[in-house]
A and B are shown apart, each in its own frame.
Chain A
């Protein structure tokens, strides 16, 4: 039997389905998604789609006509409940059993849930899906008060978009600064000022202990004992990879499904790609799990090539972007483990690049409205070059030659 089954309905799944045909796969391709719509882009959900500059039609990663043309059997509204590795078949929620010659797991991640009294109230939302986004947007009215729990990228983007829609916004961050897992203090400070300047009430070192319904809204009790009234809340406190299916099937998992450089799991017929995969990265010489569209797309192509008998190694360099207000952040690399930072440009002008160095080598950059530095860094960091720190800090000189 020549049949690839793809479990998941996100970027990795859609890309893999089409990449298989482009690579010459002649057998069946089935894409099984538990959502009821074709795979769509998630990044705009907290940005352009949220504040009405991107339509739902524009969100589609691939159009219906392409799946038809590529003869991909898209099965929507179905979840996969079990993988039988011995007989190479999956069971879906309708009870049907579907065989596979190769299985691609692209189940992504789910939002980490708030675990406090009141977390089950209807005012509490998470943002992962189009339905989530529509629900949040429907609850934002001019001058209504949105409480954002968590000062990570998703929380900050939602805050910026909600301000554009005219909502009052309060962000609660339990640590002493926003983006503390991914940036240094200067970059956190930059984003804190940006949000304050745009009218966001930012409460650092502030946790939430419980939520109650009131007569005309909701009230949150904070860890300093104070109360705050609000109309709706979005929780962005991280994600958990959807490994349940893989774990139950006995695949090796460790913060995601562990795969090798070919995106292959511990089963030679099963691949795992996208946010759910824990994969080796050559530059950082460690295993990483990324929540990233570019990574999902690249791994999808690698898996497709390998399934088509064209061995291909996944070795892409991580990068991310975030749009908030009029500020475009482009990040190349992972800053974890840096021992020095250098700012190039003018933070006050909102146009600069913050370089993270380790033992004299650049390992990552956060570029604010500085696409040229981002593009160069993305291309050059993987080469492991040592650069002149003086040139890096001096905007009148090229730091690359």
Chain B
């Protein structure tokens, strides 16, 4: 069983079983992980699914597109490890992953 671990800004941890075909955003939205909003449903229009993904986990996902990079550029609480979790797709080979969340998505 593969586990996706969400750590919010107050260090509250939610562990969710990964599902192939879901994104880290949609998995969060379907498991009441409050720190991820996902207003636009994954069309890279809102940046309300912002998360931090350490390099050691980032290698298991596709690289940032130009659009994702541009959306994140002006996102609040941007860091070097920022990603849009709607772009982090889970598949059968995804190992256990930990993402942390900003204090706010707005």
Contacts and interface: CB of A to CB of B under 8 A. Distances in A.
Interface of A: 18, 21-22, 41, 43-44, 47-48, 58, 61-63, 65-66, 69-70, 293-294, 297, 319, 321, 323, 328, 330, 370-372, 375-376, 379
A70 B73 CA distance: 35
18 contacts: A18-B32, A44-B41, A44-B43, A61-B29, A62-B30, A293-B40, A293-B41, A294-B46, A297-B37, A297-B39, A321-B46, A328-B67, A330-B45, A371-B67, A371-B71, A371-B74, A372-B70, A372-B73
A294 B41 CA distance: 10
B34 A22 contact: yes
B32 A293 contact: no
Nearest to B68: A371
B41 to A, nearest CB: 5
Contacts of B95: none
| Most B CB within 10 A of own CB, among A70, A294, A371 | A371
Interface of B: 26, 29-32, 34, 37, 39-41, 43-47, 67, 70-71, 73-76
Nearest to B46: A294
Contact of A62 (B29, B37, B46): B29
A321 B73 contact: no
Nearest to B38: A297
A364 B35 CA distance: 27
B47 A66 contact: no
Contact of A43 (B29, B31, B41, B47): B41
B11 to A, nearest CB: 18
A69 B39 CA distance: 22
A130 to B, nearest CB: 14
A19 B27 CA distance: 16
Contacts of B41: 41, 43-44, 61, 293
A58 B45 CA distance: 17
Majority-rule SS of A interface residues: helix
B43 A323 contact: yes
Nearest to B29: A62
A66 B32 contact: yes
Contacts of B37: 297
Contacts of A372: 70, 73-74
B76 to A, nearest CB: 7
A321 B32 contact: no
Nearest to A63: B30
A370 B70 CA distance: 8
Contact of A294 (B39, B44, B73, B74): B39
B30 A328 contact: no
A321 B34 contact: no
Given A21-B32, A66-B32, A321-B40, A328 B45 contact: yes
A195 B75 CA distance: 31
Contacts of B46: 294, 319, 321
A375 B75 contact: yes
A330 B74 CA distance: 14
Given A371-B70, A371-B71, A70 B32 contact: yes
Contacts of A328: 44-45, 67
Nearest to A317: B106
A48 B42 CA distance: 11
A70 B40 CA distance: 23
| Most B CB within 10 A of own CB, among A48, A321, A375, A376 | A375
Nearest to A322: B45
| Most A CB within 10 A of own CB, among B44, B71, B74 | B74
Contacts of A375: 47, 71, 73-75
A376 B74 CA distance: 6
A18 B37 CA distance: 12
A63 B41 CA distance: 14
B63 to A, nearest CB: 17
Nearest to B31: A66
